[in-house]
Structure 1
Amino acid sequence: MLFTIIFSLVGLLLFVVIGYNIVQQYKQKIETERRLAISKQRAVITEVDELLLNATRMPFSKSLLLILQHRIKNALILMLSTSSEHAGAIKSHLSNTDAQIQQLRSNYTPPDESVFRAPKNDKEALALLQVTKKIRAVIRSEHAKGKISTEIFVAEDHRLEMMQLKINIENSLKRILESKENKQYGSANQMINKLIKILSSITDKDSYLSAKQTQLLELKSEIKAALLETNDKELQAIKDRDAEKQNDLDVIFQDKKKW
């Protein structure tokens, strides 16, 4: 009888230990998932904050700024629903974000899309291209979640696409002018033709893009004239060399006649 009781107690103890371990593992899993969720939302907020820092370097529309601020707001709400840790700081951040959203809605002057500050160097150009790519990825994500309408998504994606085009045009123009300076007219002409073809296909060009198309057409004329001049000089050089060879032959045969 005693052994039966002992075995029963041991079995009960094992059951309790196993049950306790299962509960602890479940709690650890929940805690890990909670921390991962919070970490993910913090990463979202950090990314958006970094993108917003570029609002002074490139024109951000009202719609785009609202999309980014709402992305921060949604991340903060998810953090609050996931954990009560640092709830005060999160609520304060959420309140500030709401205030910024209201400020944007009631008092925001949209930038002049035709005004574009060209990047100073290749490093800055690359950084701006990376920013536009990240923003396009963000608005694609928000559209896929149903956070923004298709109309707004298409309009903002087109704006960002035009921004990327402007950055690439500025970079290409620098290379074209360098090629022209180095008298590499063939390379310059190829780049010019490519850009003109792209710009000609755009029906809603702003004043900046129209001005660049005019500049490229002028450069094309200059390159064409330079190519013709170069070809004429090369042709004349060939003629001069042929004439010189002919003179040498005449001298040789003239000497033979004297023999």
Structure 2
Amino acid sequence: MSLILILMLIGALLLLIIGFSIVQQQKERAEAERRVEVSRHRAIIDETEAVLANSGAASCSSHIILVLYKRIQDALEQSISYASGQLLGDYQRRLSDINSQISSISGSTPQVPPVENFRLPDNDRQVLDLVKTLKKLKAILRAEHNKGKVDPSVFNAEEMRIDSLQQRINVESMISRARAACYMKQYGSSKQMVTKALSTLHLIKAQTPNDPFITRKLDEAKQLLDEIMGAQKNSGPAVPQPKKNDDEDDLDMLFQRKKKW
């Protein structure tokens, strides 16, 4: 009898150990999932805030600013359900600030800066940062639209606006760099860049023949090419061309056409 009792106690102990182990594993799994979710929403918040920080340089409209704020709002609301302690309080305060910003923008007249007033930043590093910002902005806009959180008319207008800004940056950058190279008597590099700008402009012109910016830039690029050809003809021996700097390489990589395999 005592042997049966001992065996029963051992069995019960084993069941307790197994049960405790299962509960512990579930807690660890839940904690790991919580950390993953917190990290994911933290990344969304950081990325969106980085884009917002550069929204002025990107001439963003109030429509796209509202999309960005609502994305942060959603990520904060999700994070609150996983956070605790000081982090929870921080998220709640930030959510309150974001809600105020959204209310302010929603209650104001929409602001849409004219694309024609856009000006390229002063140096290649700033241009590169702006190009990256616009790429992230387009990806965010599409992701939010796919979730049904952006009105189709707003999505279409804002995507076209971003495309137009990217085209202007591409053209402005190439013409600016061509002009600078011509000034430094680097006529080979200057001619190559302005020729690339003209090729891009003709492609855009075929798609949007009535765009005044493209027409104006076509005339400017043609005039610059004539200046380069004249200066090159009168300059004598060709000047050795320096190696491109890293910023120019990065810009070319961002703007170049993708190969189809």
TM-score (norm 1): 0.78
Deviation per residue, 1:27-48 (Å, 9 max, x gap): 1110110121112112211211
Equivalent AA in structure 2 for residue 219 of structure 1: L
For residue 148 of structure 1, report the CA deviation from its aligned partner: 1.9
- Change beyond 3 A, Cα 1:155–1:88: same
Residue 116 of structure 2 aligns to a residue whose secondary structure is coil
Q: Is 2:112 the counterpart of 1:106?
A: no
For residue 81 of structure 1, report the CA deviation from its aligned partner: 3.1
Gaps of 5+ in 1: 235-259
Q: 2: distance between equivalents of 1:52 and 1:33?
A: 29
Q: Is 2:45 the counterpart of 1:45?
A: yes
For residue 9 of structure 1, report the CA deviation from its aligned partner: 0.3
- Change beyond 3 A, Cα 1:48–1:9: same
Q: Is 2:223 the counterpart of 1:222?
A: no
Partner of 1:127: 129
Q: 1: distance between equivalents of 2:88 and 2:173?
A: 47
For residue 172 of structure 1, report the CA deviation from its aligned partner: 1.3
Partner of 1:117: 119
Partner of 1:188: 190
- Change beyond 3 A, Cα 1:152–1:109: closer
Partner of 2:154: 152
Partner of 2:98: 97
Residue 82 of structure 1 aligns to a residue whose secondary structure is coil
Greater CA drift, 52-61 or 23-32: 52-61
- Change beyond 3 A, Cα 1:133–1:198: same
8 Å CA contact retained: 2:198, 2:221: yes
Deviation per residue, 1:139-175 (Å, 9 max, x gap): 2221232222444333322222222222222331233
Q: 2: distance between equivalents of 1:84 and 1:48?
A: 23
Gaps of 5+ in 2: 238-261
8 Å CA contact retained: 2:171, 2:201: no
Q: 2: distance between equivalents of 1:127 and 1:205?
A: 30
In the TM superposition, 1:17-96 aligns within 5 A as: 17-83=17-83, 85=85, 86-96=87-97
Q: Is 2:216 the counterpart of 1:211?
A: yes
TM-score (norm 2): 0.77
Equivalent AA in structure 2 for residue 221 of structure 1: D
Q: 2: distance between equivalents of 1:13 and 1:77?
A: 43
Q: 2: distance between equivalents of 1:223 and 1:166?
A: 22
Q: Percent identity?
A: 34
Q: 1: distance between equivalents of 2:212 and 2:89?
A: 48
Residue 114 of structure 1 aligns to a residue whose secondary structure is helix
Equivalent AA in structure 1 for residue 90 of structure 2: A
**Residue number among 171, 174, 193 corresponding to 1:172 in the alignment:** 174
For residue 206 of structure 1, report the CA deviation from its aligned partner: 5.7
Q: 2: distance between equivalents of 1:204 and 1:51?
A: 31
- Change beyond 3 A, Cα 1:133–1:102: same
For residue 100 of structure 1, report the CA deviation from its aligned partner: 1.0
Q: CA RMSD in A?
A: 2.6
- Change beyond 3 A, Cα 1:88–1:182: closer
Q: 1: distance between equivalents of 2:218 and 2:8?
A: 90
Q: 1: distance between equivalents of 2:209 and 2:112?
A: 18
Q: 2: distance between equivalents of 1:154 and 1:198?
A: 23
Equivalent AA in structure 1 for residue 93 of structure 2: S
- Change beyond 3 A, Cα 1:184–1:93: closer
- Change beyond 3 A, Cα 1:206–1:66: farther
Greater CA drift, 127-136 or 217-226: 217-226
Equivalent AA in structure 1 for residue 66 of structure 2: L
- Change beyond 3 A, Cα 1:88–1:179: closer
